[in-house]
């Protein structure tokens, strides 16, 4: 059985398993105060070019979104997101459960434009009734987006500029950060993210780790008391070392970037083959998620040999299908899948 349904079907990069094994019986303090976490923080600070950034390690993406957002918003504030944003649709209402409205604006190919944000903010303050309305308090985007698309550097700069005009923190969900940085034709580097976002995270779960997301506050003062809000959300791992060991491994010798590139390269091979076979794409994605339109019969026959993700109906005879590669996908797996299509 081939697995292209998502990018979290396997364990971790073998180097991580090896480190977990080596360090298994070492005793350390809990809650992220160990030497492995400290080493990982240092490597991340170096990778983003911010020596004094505050770095915290949490377990998963939905959790991280809820903790970061409730950390930064006041009770009357909501978070602006593209309507397709993960926080708006796929997190069980976690943001609202912590008391905040997700202010969903129409996205374009999964992206939120600076223009849409500015227009919303202008309209908000132009309405005489604004004090009666949940206040926009931060802006959330994902990089890459839920549709595998990426912002260009100039798009991020424009978004960041709107946010700064209105003094709203810009939060970048980087659950698949590695794949976004490795995007075909992309021009964004991790240091750009750190320069333009007020807080972001570097996803491990989908990029080579067993689990783990590294939250970064380039200005550490914004991270004050983050430990306690994470604790309140049940998001502090007792054996925090497990996160340190994983991120230390991923940020040693650029492993994170290398394995992210593998996923994008495999996705490119897959798209080229699909294009050649005449498949239409639902959206043009330059990262590890491929959204292709498939006849329902084809999809049914495929199901026995390859797991894929049914995204949504396209028309009565076709379905939008998502195919994901990941840090471990091999050329051979891609070839086998192409053979079935």
Taking CB under 8 A as the criterion, the residue among 37, 40, 55, 102 binding a second copy is: 102
Task: Name which of 31, 328, 65, 51 is nearest 206 in CA terms.
Answer: 328
Joined tokens for residue 235: 């998001």
Task: Name which of 232, 231, 228, 227 is nearest 215 in CA terms.
Answer: 227
Of the pair 158, 173, the CB lying nearest a second copy is at: 173
Taking CB under 8 A as the criterion, the residue among 51, 74, 221, 304 binding a second copy is: 74
Point out which span in 53-61, 149-157, 260-268, 277-285 binds a second copy (CB under 8 A): 53-61
Task: Name which of 32, 42, 46, 80 is nearest 226 in CA terms.
Answer: 32
For a second copy, the binding residues in 277-316 under the rule CB under 8 A are 307, 310
DSSP class of 317: T
Rounded-to-integer distance, Cα 99 and Cα 85, Å: 18
**Least Å from the CB of residue 304 to a second copy:** 15
Task: Name which of 279, 292, 295, 281 is nearest 322 in CA terms.
Answer: 292
Joined tokens for residue 133: 């309305």
Of the pair 63, 109, the CB lying nearest a second copy is at: 63
Of the pair 113, 246, the CB lying nearest a second copy is at: 246
The three-point CA angle 136-81-271 to 5° equals 165
Of the pair 186, 203, the CB lying nearest a second copy is at: 203
Rounded-to-integer distance, Cα 57 and Cα 32, Å: 8
Is there binding between residue 173 and a second copy (CB under 8 A)?
A: no
**Least Å from the CB of residue 170 to a second copy:** 20
Q: Tell me the torsion sign for CA atoms 252, 40, 169, 71.
A: positive
Rounded-to-integer distance, Cα 127 and Cα 209, Å: 47
Give the bridge partners for 77, in sequence order. Answer: 135
Q: Binding marks (x or -) toward a second copy, 25..44, rule CB under 8 A?
A: xxxxxx--------------
| Cα of 46 vs its chain's centroid, Å | 21
Taking CB under 8 A as the criterion, the residue among 50, 101, 261, 318 binding a second copy is: 101
For a second copy, the binding residues in 119-138 under the rule CB under 8 A are 128-129, 131-135
Taking CB under 8 A as the criterion, the residue among 39, 42, 53, 98 binding a second copy is: 98
**Least Å from the CB of residue 162 to a second copy:** 21
Number of residues lying near a second copy (CB under 8 A): 80
Taking CB under 8 A as the criterion, the residue among 40, 41, 47, 65 binding a second copy is: 65
DSSP 75-93: TTEEEEEETT-HHHHSSTT
Q: Binding marks (x or -) toward a second copy, 219..258, rule CB under 8 A?
A: ------x-xxx-xxxxxxxxx-xx----------------
Of the pair 43, 206, the CB lying nearest a second copy is at: 206
């Amino acid at each position: 059985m081939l697995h292209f349904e998502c990018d979290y079907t396997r364990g971790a990069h073998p180097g991580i398993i090896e480190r977990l094994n080596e360090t298994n019986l070492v005793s350390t303090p809990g809650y992220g105060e160990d030497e492995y976490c400290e080493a990982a923080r240092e490597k991340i600070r170096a990778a983003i070019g911010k020596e004094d950034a505050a770095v915290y390690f949490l377990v998963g993406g939905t959790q991280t979104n809820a903790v970061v957002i409730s950390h930064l918003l006041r009770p009357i504030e909501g978070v602006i997101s593209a309507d397709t944003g993960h926080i708006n649709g796929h997190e069980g209402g976690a943001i609202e459960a912590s008391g905040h409205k997700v202010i969903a604006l129409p996205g374009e190919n999964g992206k939120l434009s600076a223009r849409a944000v500015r227009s919303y903010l202008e309209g908000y303050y132009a309405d005489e009734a604004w004090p009666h309305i949940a206040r926009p308090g931060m802006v959330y985007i994902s990089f890459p987006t839920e549709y595998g698309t990426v912002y260009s550097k100039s798009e991020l700069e424009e978004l960041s500029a709107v946010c700064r005009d209105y003094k709203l923190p810009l939060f970048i969900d980087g659950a698949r950060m590695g794949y976004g940085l490795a995007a075909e034709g992309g021009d964004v580097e991790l240091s750009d993210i750190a320069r333009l976002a007020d807080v972001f995270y570097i996803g491990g779960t989908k990029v080579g780790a067993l689990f783990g997301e590294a939250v970064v506050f380039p200005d550490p003062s914004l991270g004050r008391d983050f430990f306690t809000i994470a604790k309140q959300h049940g998001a502090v791992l007792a054996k925090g070392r497990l996160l340190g060991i994983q991120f230390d491994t991923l940020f040693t010798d650029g492993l994170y970037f290398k394995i992210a590139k593998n996923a994008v390269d495999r996705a490119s091979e897959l798209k080229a083959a699909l294009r050649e076979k005449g498949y239409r794409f639902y959206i043009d994605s330059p990262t590890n998620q491929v959204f292709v339109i498939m006849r329902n019969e084809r999809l049914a026959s495929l199901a026995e040999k390859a797991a894929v993700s049914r995204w949504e109906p396209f028309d009565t005879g076709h379905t939008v299908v998502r195919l994901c590669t990941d840090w471990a996908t091999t050329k051979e797996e891609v070839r086998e899948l192409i053979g079935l299509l």
